[in-house]
Amino acid sequence: MSTNLITSLNARLEGMSASERAIAEVILDAPAEVVALSSQALAKRCNVSQSSIIKFCQKVGFPGFPALKIELSAETARSENAQQIHAGIFSDDSLGAVAKKLFASKIAALSETMKANPNAVLDAAVGQISAANRILILGVGGSALVAQDLSSKLAKFGKAVIAGGDSHIQLANLASFGAGDLLISISYSGTTREVQVAVEFALAHGVPVLHIGAYHQAPAPEVVLHCVADENIVRSSSIATRTAQMAITDLLFVLFVQGQGDVAARISDSHALVRQIR
């Protein structure tokens, strides 16, 4: 395999079926334990059939479970001898290996994220942005950086956008929003409490919601755009996650701008104004 097994499974989780995801999550949660299991024992732990284990192994690039265990054993043994500093990257990796793994992770995030979002859903998201009178973009932690970037882009084209700052202030701002406005919530996991509170309030009060990331609560936002990234347990920063999120927000911005009739004039005016202070 071009990337290690653990990294590959993390990157492919979102696109897996329910049974495949159950197997992958058991492997990711306890790789050292899985090495010691038979395919029958693993099937029982995952609550799937033994044939499902074999099909899963073949789908991720191995002829059978023994071959997968050999690869997994090598990775877990290495983890004991070298410090893992980021998903799939170890302290004893060469510069070239680090670069290759990091770029492969980012490329995988972009590719898988593109596959996860149908054109119809992207079109609906752009429609929400275009129709909104005011937009509040809410993200926490690394997602706040993505929110701020999208905010600055949309503001250049005349959208009234609120983003950044204290999340309590953001929630207070949301309280004044109505059906003609839009909440854009950003959370890779969908479990960020501030985002959940904001989405729940918006849906209860008729405010349209565009969510970027996973969302597990009910009711769900009207439009959800998925981000797929290598989210290994060991990571020094949300690098692949932010890559996937930025890919989505950049695409939304470009599609929004494409629908504006005076793009060239707006860009020219923006550049001309900035040049005055140089």
pLDDT tens column, 171-211: 999 999 999 999 999 998 888 899 999 999 999 999 999 99
What pLDDT sits at residue 78? 66
Partners of residue 223 on adjacent β-strands = 210
Domains in the chain, number: 2
Of 81, 109, 135, the position where a domain reaches its end is: 81
Helix residue ranges per DSSP H, 30-94: 31-35, 39-46, 50-59, 65-81
Q: Structure tokens of 185?
A: 């919530």
Domain-located, residue 113: no
Provide mean pLDDT across the span 105-132: 91
Q: Does 219 sit behind a cis peptide bond, omega within 30 degrees of 0 on the bond before it? A: yes
180 in the same domain as 59: no
- Write down which residue in 81, 104, 134 finishes a domain: 81
Most confident of 117-121, 155-159, 214-218, 234-238: 117-121
> What letters, b where the CB count within 10 A reaches 16 and e where it falls short, cover 203-236?
beeebbbbbbbebeeeeebebbbbbbbbbbeebe
The pair of three-digit structure tokens given for residue 85, joined into one six-digit string: 């500093």
- Give a yes or no: residue 92 inside a domain: no
Q: Name residues whose C-beta falls within 8 Å of residue 248's C-beta, 6 or more positions apart in sequence.
A: 113, 117, 212, 225, 227
Kindly state the tokens that stand for 228: 């797929």
Which pLDDT belongs to residue 80? 60
Residue 236 reports pLDDT greater than 70:
no
More confident residue, 97 or 134: 134
> Does residue 214 contact residue 167 with C-beta atoms inside 8 Å?
no
Name the domain boundary from 63, 81, 99: 81
Distances (CA, A) of 47 to 9, 30, 39, 69, 147: 19, 16, 12, 19, 39
Residue pLDDT, tens place only, 41-97: 999 999 999 999 999 999 988 888 988 988 888 777 766 666 667 666 777 777 887
For residue 86, list its beta bridge partners: 89
Same domain, 183 and 247: yes
Which among 157, 173, 171 has a CA at the least distance from the CA of 266? 157
Please provide the distance, in angstroms rounded to a whole number, between the alpha carbons at the two ends of the chain.
Answer: 51
CA max distance for the chain:
71
Residues 132 and 264 in one domain: yes
Mean pLDDT of the chain: 86
8 A C-beta contact, residue 136 and residue 182: yes
134/73 same-domain check: no
Residue at 87 is within a domain: no
pLDDT at 15 over 70: yes
Whether residue 232 is predicted with pLDDT greater than 60 in this model: the reply is no
> Does some domain include residue 97?
no
Same-domain check for residues 232 and 148: yes
Residue 101 falls inside a structural domain: no
Q: Residue 234 pLDDT > 60, yes or no? A: no
For residues 67 and 178, state if they share a domain: no
The C-alpha atoms of residue 175 and residue 28 are separated, in whole angstroms, by: 40
Pair (70, 124) in one structural domain: no
pTM, 2 dp: 0.68
The residue-averaged pLDDT of 138-153 equals 92
Flag whether 261 is in a domain: yes
Same domain, 246 and 126: yes
pLDDT digits (tens, 9 = 90+) for 247-257: 999 999 999 99
Distance separating alpha carbons of residues 258 and 104, to the nearest angstrom: 30
C-beta atoms surrounding 240 within 10 Å: 32
Closest among 18, 16, 50, 45 to 33, alpha carbons compared: 45
Same domain? For 137 and 60 the reply is no
Q: Are residues 69 and 204 in the same domain?
A: no
Which residue range forms the structural domain that includes residue 212? 119-272
Mean pLDDT of 99-105: 80
pLDDT at residue 180, rounded to an integer: 97
Tell how many helices (H) and how many strands (E) occur in the chain. Answer: 13, 7
pLDDT reported for residue 237: 57
What's 251's domain CATH number?
3.40.50.10490
Do 55 and 143 belong together in one domain? no
Q: Grade residue 12 by pLDDT with cuts at 50, 70 and 90.
A: confident
In a domain, 95, yes or no: no
Residue 202 lies in a domain: yes
Residue type present at position 156: K
Nearest to 213 by CA among 125, 87, 120: 125
Whether the pLDDT of residue 100 is over 90: the answer is no
| Strand duo 134-139 + 182-187: pairing | parallel
193 & 246 share domain: yes
Q: Identify the CATH number of the domain in which residue 63 sits.
A: 1.10.10.10
